[in-house]
């Protein structure tokens, strides 16, 4: 049985995207073309590869088995065909992540690659949007606080964020040591989202109680949260990598030092079909190496 590479590439794109529409966008083809290629491949192998469902397709057992067998060879072939030995980084890498992590950690880690000629495009966003962009092919790599449960993505732990409950010294002087949830009722809270997920997690895991208040100040950037807390707006829970300099200088004070501070794992998520590319691998390697020393 002879099957063209184009049919296999279209099949693999459908398998990874979970829909014919998504695969067509990834491949830059019309949806009817992908549908026809998929039908031709199913006729060639003599069995259905996908079941049609209301919001896309689900692979059959035969579809999963075929994807397992062809994914790595096709990805390697595409990487070889795209590779130009004369160019250190043949193609642009698209990277996404939380704005503050990109600014404070990721970009310094890959600055040397950019200096050597890498072209990099960086997008800040929330986890679900970043995962959507990965699946759609708009990103090659993303750092997210959510481990993806989607087909077509791979994830590895990158960095464990440690969090601290902090405030300016003017607020800290008014509070008991150790601080209690009751004592904090009179302190304004600053959060990056209306739901205050970081604050609520701290209350639940450290204070063993629910946070029932709404934040006094909401600003959708943890760097802005940091600036507001340093200026005396109130208290917040921040990743220590972001506020370490302010804690060291005394601009901020930790209001409590729990024996086991809350941690949040950040994952480096990739599209397997591009992970073999030299420039994507270089970015991944730089991030993983830097994270080992953070």
Q: Give me the residue label for tokens 């991030």.
A: 287
| pTM of structure | 0.75
Are 176 and 255 in the same domain?
yes
Given a contact cutoff of 8 angstroms between Cβ atoms, the answer to whether 207 and 237 are in contact is no
Q: Which domain holds residue 10?
A: 5-82
Beta strand segments in 179-222, E: 190-191, 217-218
pLDDT score of 16: 82
Determine the average pLDDT of the residues in 141-166.
Answer: 93
Question: Following CA atoms 208, 213, 219, 222 in sequence, which dihedral angle do they give, to the nearest 10 degrees?
Answer: -10
Alpha-carbon distances of 22 from 97, 139, 156, 227, rounded to whole Å: 22, 14, 24, 40
Task: For residue 88, tell me if it sits in a domain.
Answer: no
* Total domains present in the chain: 3
Are 110 and 255 in the same domain?
no
Task: For residue 241, tell me if it sits in a domain.
Answer: yes
Residue 133 tokens, joined = 């962009």
Task: For residue 99, tell me if it sits in a domain.
Answer: yes
Are 196 and 149 in the same domain?
no
Q: Among 27-31, 121-125, 244-248, where is mean pLDDT lowest?
A: 27-31
Q: Is 196 left (phi over 0), alpha (psi -120 to 50) or beta?
A: left
pLDDT score of 3: 82
Residue 86 tokens, joined = 């004369």
Task: For residue 87, tell me if it sits in a domain.
Answer: no
Percent of the chain whose pLDDT exceeds 90: 71
DSSP string, 128-160: HHHHHHHHTTS-SEEEESS----TT-EEEEEEE
Is the alpha carbon torsion for 85, 8, 274, 136 positive or negative? positive
Are 229 and 168 in the same domain?
yes
Task: For residue 24, tell me if it sits in a domain.
Answer: yes
Are 23 and 164 in the same domain?
no
Are 116 and 187 in the same domain?
no
pLDDT score of 203: 97
Last residue of a domain, which of 82, 115, 143? 82
Are 257 and 287 in the same domain?
no
Task: Give residue-wise pLDDT tens across range 204-240.
Answer: 999 999 999 999 999 999 999 999 999 999 999 999 9
In this predicted structure, the answer to whether residue 8 has a pLDDT above a threshold of 80 is yes
Q: With CA atoms as reference, report the closest residue to 263 among 291, 229, 239.
A: 239
Task: Give residue-wise pLDDT tens across range 254-283.
Answer: 999 999 889 999 999 998 778 778 899 999
Residue 43 tokens, joined = 């006729």
Task: Give residue-wise pLDDT tens across range 46-84.
Answer: 999 999 998 889 999 999 999 888 888 887 777 666 656
In this predicted structure, the answer to whether residue 250 has a pLDDT above a threshold of 80 is yes
Task: Give residue-wise pLDDT tens across range 177-208.
Answer: 889 999 999 999 999 999 999 999 999 999 99
Are 251 and 164 in the same domain?
yes
pLDDT score of 83: 58
Are 227 and 140 in the same domain?
no
Are 176 and 143 in the same domain?
no
Element (H, E) at 285: helix 278-291
Please state, in angstroms and rounded to a whole number, the distance separating the CA atoms of residues 122 and 13: 24
């Amino acid at each position: 049985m002879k099957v063209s590479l184009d049919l296999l590439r279209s099949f693999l794109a459908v398998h990874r995207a979970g829909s014919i529409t998504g695969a067509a966008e990834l491949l830059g083809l019309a949806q009817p073309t992908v549908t026809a290629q998929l039908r031709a491949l199913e006729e060639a192998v003599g069995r259905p590869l996908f079941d049609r469902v209301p919001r896309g397709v689900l692979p059959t057992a035969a579809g999963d088995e075929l994807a397992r067998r062809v994914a790595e060879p096709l990805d390697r072939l595409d990487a070889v065909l795209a590779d130009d030995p004369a160019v250190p980084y043949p193609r642009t890498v698209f990277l996404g992540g939380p704005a503050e992590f990109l600014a404070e950690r990721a970009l310094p880690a890959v600055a040397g690659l950019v200096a050597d000629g890498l072209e990099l495009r960086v997008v800040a966003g929330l986890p679900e949007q970043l995962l959507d962009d990965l699946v759609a092919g708009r990103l090659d790599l993303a750092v997210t606080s959510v481990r993806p449960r989607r087909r077509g993505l791979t994830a590895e732990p990158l960095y464990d964020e440690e969090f601290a409950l902090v405030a300016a010294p003017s607020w800290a002087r008014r509070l008991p040591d150790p601080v209690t949830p009751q004592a904090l009722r009179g302190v304004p809270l600053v959060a990056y989202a209306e739901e205050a997920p970081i604050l609520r997690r701290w209350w639940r895991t450290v204070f063993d109680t629910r946070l029932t208040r709404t934040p006094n100040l909401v600003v959708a950037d943890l760097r802005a949260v940091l600036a507001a807390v340093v200026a005396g707006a109130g208290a917040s829970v921040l990743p220590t990598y972001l506020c370490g300099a302010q804690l060291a200088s005394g601009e901020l004070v930790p209001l409590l030092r729990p024996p086991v501070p809350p941690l949040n794992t950040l994952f480096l998520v990739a599209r397997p079909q591009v992970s073999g590319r030299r420039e994507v691998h270089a970015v991944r390697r730089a991030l993983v190496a830097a994270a080992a020393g953070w």
